[in-house]
Amino acid sequence: METDEEQFFYLMEELKSLTAAAGGQVAAVCTQNRLRAEPSTYIGKGKVDEIKQLIETTEANTVIFNNELSPSQLRNLARLLEVKVIDRTQLILDIFSKRAKSREGKLQVELAQLEYLLPRLSGHGLNLSRQGGGIGTRGPGETKLETDQRHIRNRIHDIKQQLSHIVSHRERYRSQRKRNHQTQIALVGYTNAGKSTLFNKLTAADSFQEDMVFATLDPMTRKMFLPSGMKVLMTDTVGFIQQLPTSLIAAFRSTLEEIKEADLLLHIVDSSHPDYIQHENTVNELLKELGTDGLPVLTVYNKKDQQLEHFFPSLKEDYIVISAFCDEDIERLKTAIEEKLKKKMHPYVVSVPTGDGKRLSLLKANTLVSTLQFDEQNQHYIVSGLVFRDHPVYDQIMKNK
């Protein structure tokens, strides 16, 4: 069983990874064990002095805290330490800002950054560029801080309007997919669990993959073919992390709604990470928060080639252990996905004339075909398989049985 000390160690190692992902280099690590946080500076006075000495020794220009700091704590620490002070939330927002590529992703990150920044404006000496201006934009005696706050609130309003248009467009596209019942599978998991590598292997896509946190930020959807020939849509999603900023969850909620529409979730777990159980629990908690209760889940323990000696699955069933770099494992995973989907499908048997190739192709692409036999006497194909009841092809099958 993991102790609090071990958990703290893993979180600090994760903070180092986040710092590297943001382009920083760790000069020194300083920790403190307190019963409660100091209201004004989060850490004690002696620890502040210790960090000041470390800054002088290492010539560090930034201090990063692993917990979210209040606006007053940030201001007080920046004044006392005389260098830039940021917290875990700000660090994650910075990484997201660098990684966002799509227009929606950039807007979502900017929204989260501005909502984080608004209560922390005072004392930061921010010089924000002002778009617009003119008569009525500045009242008599208005301070620069008030102007900055107004600018940010206006920008937040503008971003929310732009995002609402993007969300409504996606909802129309989602409704269309639902009407056509294109089977959807969503990859979810802790950051750096290997989701993008698996996504590329399963779909032959070319999404960005690298051994770093938050390598994928913008969701990507590609088609994938199961062993039976049935086509499904697979979506790669942003990785989860412990203490994920609430502002980011809120900003990316519309994107994460895609997860709720999936027919199956593939929960990817890095079985080589010493804290994999906590990672697994973090993802499960966030999925619950997103309202995915009731959705079928297949847990995929990845990186078996680097697996821990003491690794053991936390589940009794509905899991598979693989390496994304093993072709045999990829085929095993596709078969496991197919078996999982079968539990939600309805059996059928239908006769198709030899000349109706279009109908045969339709069945192969949209249903799980189990058998395909040729009846020489009647010159028909006898097709048996499984189909989703709410798929449009189900009605066609029932009519022509």
Residues annotated within a binding site for GTP = 189-196, 214-218, 236-239, 302-305
Q: Which residues contact 41 (CB under 8 A, 6 or more apart)?
A: 48, 73, 76, 77, 80
Burial 20-38 (b: 16+ CB within 10 A, else e): ebbebeeeeeeeeeeeeee
Residues 366, 358: Cα–Cα separation, whole Å: 12
Instruction: Find the angle CA(42)-CA(44)-CA(46) to the nearest 5 degrees.
Output: 145
Residues of the binding site: 189-196, 214-218, 236-239, 302-305
Residues 249, 153: Cα–Cα separation, whole Å: 20
Inter-helix orientation angle 253-260/103-117, to 10°:
120
Helix (H) or strand (E) holding 97, with range, is helix 88-99
Q: Which residues contact 348 (CB under 8 A, 6 or more apart)?
A: 367, 384, 385, 386, 387, 394, 397, 401
Helix (H) or strand (E) holding 74, with range, is helix 71-81
Residues of the binding site for Mg(2+): 196, 216
Nearest residue to 393 via CA among 358, 342, 341, 354: 358
Instruction: Find the angle CA(12)-CA(16)-CA(19) to the nearest 5 degrees.
Output: 130
Query: Cα dihedral sign for 276, 278, 281, 285?
Result: negative
282 near 298, Cβ under 8 Å? no
AA identity, residue 266: L
Burial of 239 (0-12, 13-18, 19+ CB in 10 A): buried
Burial 76-92 (b: 16+ CB within 10 A, else e): bbbebbeeebbbbbbbb
Q: Are strands 346-353 and 368-375 parallel, antiparallel or unpaired?
A: unpaired
47 near 95, Cβ under 8 Å? no
Helix (H) or strand (E) holding 374, with range, is strand 368-375
